[in-house]
Amino acid sequence: MIRSILYLIVTIILLQSCKENTADKEKFQIDDTEYELPYRIPDEKNISDVVCKIADYIIKSTPYQIINEKTGGEIIDFSIPDTNAIVDTRTGSFNLWDYTVGVIHTGMLAASDVLERADYQKYVINNYDFIFKNLPYFREKALIKKPGNGSYHRIINMNALDHCGSIGAALIQAWQINPDIEYRKMIDTVENFIMHKQFRLVDGTLARKRPQKESVWTDDFYMSIPFLVRMGEITKNDIYYTEAVNQVLQLSSYLFNCNKNLFDHGMNLNAKEYDPEFFWSRANGWAMMSITTLLDVLPEDYKDRDQVLKIYRAHIKSIAELQGGNGLWFNILDKNDTYPETSGTAMFVYSMAKAVNEGWIDYTYASVALAGWNGLTMYISDEGEIENMCAGTTFGADMVYYYHRPPSHNSLHGLGPALLAGSEIIKLLRNQDFKPVKEWRTIHFKPTETK
């Protein structure tokens, strides 16, 4: 009898393996309906707990150490060159100079602001201070060793927007808090790179030389526009806002599909109008977050702002219509046989919530953002780690590549966006202009009566 029960238990356990990616998630019985996600109006405490879990995981995983790659031992005496010296990334690449870290910094600052957590702001300052303190060591020792991933090579050999735009944008935010001269020097280095050195098409569109000779990437929205926007903010020089607006419109002219209202991951100019389109979720997230950042500072009467808004709103509408059943978006947005992906989802949730808070899109979109947030929380572990983030993905040439980019919990791409998303959802629930109402088993945001 005991054996029978044991077999049954084993059978049931094995049966679990039959279920697909999302099916092993907890089910939620709300009223008389079973949901794949907690489909509800959360209270602020619930949301801030999730945000803090992620932030605490980030802080805990940031070691502020230079180590010997071979031995793992901490290096303390920087007067002695060590060809094995690297930044310690054993618990994550949080101390690197990287675009994902840029978004994390921006997210930590947002969480600090919304939750009044000075330690989150302090984290950002500490992180940049650590970079600038150790940079000379790697820069000078670069003579004896080709700089690699653990050695600030993206500063030392800055040669791509990936190397500077996102982390530079967050640096400007940090500099506004801590006006350090080292910060400012680096800001100017980045400004010089983006404005004058980065490869562009003849029409001025930011571009890359890979995978083909002239390739335009949707990722480059975020690798340039937030930095340009922040530069405009601190310099009051119109050149940056104008450049940011122009890049939105020019990149969109190559990448925004006006029938599907989605961004193609990239275009190879050699293939012209017949370049195949791949609607990869995170690329769409980068574009939407970038325009969100731009609209946040752009004066209402700025030239071509209406054109930017038009693309932004059409994009948000299309994204809302492609939301999957559990609140997340599919890794390839229009392919429901790909897995629910968290980094793109977090970017959409943040952007939509912000767009509603700022009045750039109708407040009814708050329901979409909230459902997305509720779904996202299921993929955040008790330790603050995020599952189902699509691993690093290049601009590929075939759909089969995109289908196989695996879900990961080690990449950093979703952490910053999730901090931003949670913080903005809190602001959404605090917003006095409208309030969520549970009605007929769904959640409608309605204008407050005083309005």
Q: Are 287 and 247 in contact (CB under 8 A)?
A: no
Residue indicated by tokens 């879990």: 53
12 touches a second copy by CB under 8 A: yes
Min dist. Cβ of residue 15 to a second copy (A): 6
Nearer to a second copy, 42 or 107 (CB): 42
Residue 124 φ/ψ, nearest 5 degrees: -65, -45
What's the rounded Cα separation, in Å, for the pair 267 and 449?
48
Nearer to a second copy, 1 or 144 (CB): 1
Binders of a second copy among residues 179 to 218 (CB under 8 A) are 210-213
Q: Which of 150, 375, 407, 422 binds a second copy (CB under 8 A)?
A: 375
Nearer to a second copy, 165 or 327 (CB): 327
Contacts of 451 (CB under 8 A, 6+ apart): 433, 434
Bond preceding residue 211 cis, omega within 30 of 0: yes
The pair of structure tokens assigned to 359 is 């009045």
Nearer to a second copy, 157 or 270 (CB): 270
Residue 258 φ/ψ, nearest 5 degrees: -75, -10
Give residue 374's Cα distance to chain centre. 18
Min dist. Cβ of residue 230 to a second copy (A): 28
Q: Which of 274, 382, 449, 450 binds a second copy (CB under 8 A)?
A: 274
Contacts of 435 (CB under 8 A, 6+ apart): 445, 446, 448
Total number of residues binding a second copy (CB under 8 A)?
82
Give residue 205's Cα distance to chain centre. 22
Distances (CA, A) of 393 to 67, 283, 390, 413: 28, 10, 8, 11
117 touches a second copy by CB under 8 A: no
40 touches a second copy by CB under 8 A: no
Q: Which of 73, 136, 204, 406 binds a second copy (CB under 8 A)?
A: 406
362 touches a second copy by CB under 8 A: yes
Segment (H or E) for 108: helix 99-115
Nearer to a second copy, 184 or 313 (CB): 313
276 touches a second copy by CB under 8 A: yes
Min dist. Cβ of residue 408 to a second copy (A): 10
Residue of 351, 344, 393, 380 whose CA lies nearest to 368: 351
Q: Are 95 and 141 in contact (CB under 8 A)?
A: no
What's the rounded Cα separation, in Å, for the pair 222 and 166?
6
Residue 311 φ/ψ, nearest 5 degrees: -65, -45
Instruction: With both helix axes pointing from N to C terminus, report the angle between 99-115 and 118-141 in degrees, rounded to the nearest 10.
Output: 160
400 touches a second copy by CB under 8 A: yes
60 touches a second copy by CB under 8 A: no
Min dist. Cβ of residue 269 to a second copy (A): 10
Min dist. Cβ of residue 180 to a second copy (A): 35
Binders of a second copy among residues 298 to 327 (CB under 8 A) are 313-314, 316-317, 320-327
What's the rounded Cα separation, in Å, for the pair 143 and 147?
9
Q: Are 445 and 435 in contact (CB under 8 A)?
A: yes
338 touches a second copy by CB under 8 A: yes
Q: Which of 336, 358, 430, 438 binds a second copy (CB under 8 A)?
A: 336
Per-residue x/- marks for a second copy, 415-444, CB under 8 A?
Answer: ------------------------xxxxxx
Per-residue x/- marks for a second copy, 120-149, CB under 8 A?
Answer: ------------------------------
Per-residue x/- marks for a second copy, 245-264, CB under 8 A?
Answer: --------------x-----
The pair of structure tokens assigned to 251 is 């990149």
Q: Which of 90, 197, 303, 404 binds a second copy (CB under 8 A)?
A: 404
Nearer to a second copy, 78 or 199 (CB): 199
Give the DSSP letter of residue 208.
Answer: B
Q: Are 127 and 94 in contact (CB under 8 A)?
A: yes
Nearer to a second copy, 212 or 235 (CB): 212
Per-residue x/- marks for a second copy, 78-107, CB under 8 A?
Answer: ------------------------------
Helix, strand and coil in the chain, % to nearest 5: 50, 10, 35
Min dist. Cβ of residue 79 to a second copy (A): 38
Please identify, among the stretches 182-190, 243-251, 380-388, 392-400, the one whose residues bind a second copy according to the rule CB under 8 A: 392-400
350 touches a second copy by CB under 8 A: no
Nearer to a second copy, 161 or 370 (CB): 370
Q: Which of 2, 24, 29, 33 binds a second copy (CB under 8 A)?
A: 33
Nearer to a second copy, 206 or 320 (CB): 320
Residue 327 φ/ψ, nearest 5 degrees: 95, -15
Helix, strand, or coil (residue 69): coil
